[in-house]
């Protein structure tokens, strides 16, 4: 029995040593092939594996495919995408149409086959084992930078489409001079870095007590193309669409502390308007059907609005044909709404079909 146990221990030890030796020699071999390919490939054509899924990444894929067809920049071009039973993503549709080879994620990438891996809006974390299969795969330093001006009323959907085009163009420019770009790459600075949490439908719900005009307009610009702003109308979810935006709300940012200080100061002076442009906002967008519409009455209504009505108060502006809602520091307006289970409707239809059907003291979003 002792001899048998000893023999088993020796066998296990030998197998463990063989396993360690195999992986040691395999790593040496992989590193050697990787270094050998780097030395061999100092110029195009580049053999590329592309990782992408949606419309954003499709811009980069089509740019690579175009270069493969008409120039010597791209040699082999294989694609990896995420499988889905419900949706055929844009990248997969393109590959099926154009006859490009495509593999489902996850993949095992052999060493020594590809020069570069290109990742664009892929949607999955790529492990080190895959990254190491590409001798020219940048994973940290910055090889190129493009600054893009953003207008005060730019929304995320339009910006994403523009950045997809800019990114695809810059990718081709980098590949045309890749070795030099990699040699001159610089570390990414941490200045100005902010967290980008994952967004969901819950992210776009408006808290009328806390959100300022600036905050709501920022949310609208960021979320509307993906998760439209929404609130509750007597328990029913309502999406607020086609916001009336104002330039000053994009350029003048008040912190929560500054807003709180101005609320306190305004209350101490007997006025519920937080700042002068809140009155201007009222004059622009909050002509209540309860009032005759005279500018002095509108101004008076704004001044006492927070005193007489809580945030979330809903009115209809007959002149502009918008629904206006009182938030923390003023009024925000929307041209159309969508009540869950119903078709989109104009602000006028919402006013006629819903607002006028209940007492005025219940005209409020929650």
Stretch 209-227: mean pLDDT, rounded?
97
CA triple 197-147-60, angle to 5 deg: 75
64's tokens: 């690579």
What's the pLDDT at 309?
Answer: 78
What's the pLDDT at 336?
Answer: 98
pLDDT in tens, 261-292: 444 443 333 333 333 344 344 434 444 444 33
**Rounded Cα distance, 111 and 156, in Å:** 38
Q: Count CB atoms within 10 A of the CB of residue 344.
A: 12
Q: Are 160 and 54 in contact (CB under 8 A)?
A: no
What's the pLDDT at 138?
Answer: 67
What's the pLDDT at 20?
Answer: 40
Dihedral-angle region of residue 321 (phi above 0 means left; psi in -120 to 50 means alpha; beta otherwise): left
Record the pTM: 0.76
Looking at the DSSP bridge assignments, the partners of residue 120 are 52
């Amino acid at each position: 029995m002792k001899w048998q146990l000893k023999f088993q221990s020796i066998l296990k030890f030998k197998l463990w040593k063989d396993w360690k030796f195999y992986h040691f020699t395999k790593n040496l071999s992989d590193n050697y092939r990787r270094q050998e390919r780097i030395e061999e490939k100092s110029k195009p054509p580049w053999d590329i594996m592309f990782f992408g899924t949606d419309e954003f990444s499709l811009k980069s894929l089509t740019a690579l495919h175009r270069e493969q067809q008409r120039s010597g920049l791209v040699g082999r071009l294989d694609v990896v995408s995420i499988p889905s039973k419900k949706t055929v993503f844009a990248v997969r549709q393109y590959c099926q149409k154009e006859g490009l080879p495509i593999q489902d994620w996850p993949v095992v990438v052999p060493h020594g086959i590809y020069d570069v891996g290109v990742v664009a809006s892929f949607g999955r974390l790529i492990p080190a084992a895959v990254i190491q299969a590409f001798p020219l795969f940048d994973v940290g330093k910055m090889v190129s930078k493009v600054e893009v001006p953003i207008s005060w009323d730019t929304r995320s959907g339009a910006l994403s489409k523009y950045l997809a085009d800019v990114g695809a163009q810059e990718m081709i420019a980098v590949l045309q001079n890749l070795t030099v770009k990699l040699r001159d790459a610089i570390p990414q600075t941490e200045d100005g870095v902010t967290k980008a949490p994952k967004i969901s439908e819950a992210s776009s719900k408006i808290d009328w007590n806390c959100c300022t005009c600036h905050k709501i307009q920022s949310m609208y610009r960021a979320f509307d193309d993906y998760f439209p702003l929404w609130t509750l109308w007597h328990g029913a979810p309502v999406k607020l669409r086609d916001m009336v935006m104002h330039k000053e709300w994009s350029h003048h940012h008040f912190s929560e502390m500054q807003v709180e200080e101005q609320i306190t100061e305004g209350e101490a002076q007997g006025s519920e308007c937080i700042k002068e442009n809140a009155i201007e906002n009222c004059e622009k967008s909050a002509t209540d059907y309860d009032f005759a519409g005279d500018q002095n009455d509108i101004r008076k209504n704004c001044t006492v609005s927070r005193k007489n009505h809580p945030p979330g108060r809903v009115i209809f502006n007959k002149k502009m044909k918008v629904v206006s809602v009182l938030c923390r520091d003023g009024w925000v307006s929307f041209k159309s709404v969508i009540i869950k289970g119903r078709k989109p409707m104009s602000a006028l239809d919402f006013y006629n079909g819903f607002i006028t059907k209940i007492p005025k003291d219940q005209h409020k979003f929650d």
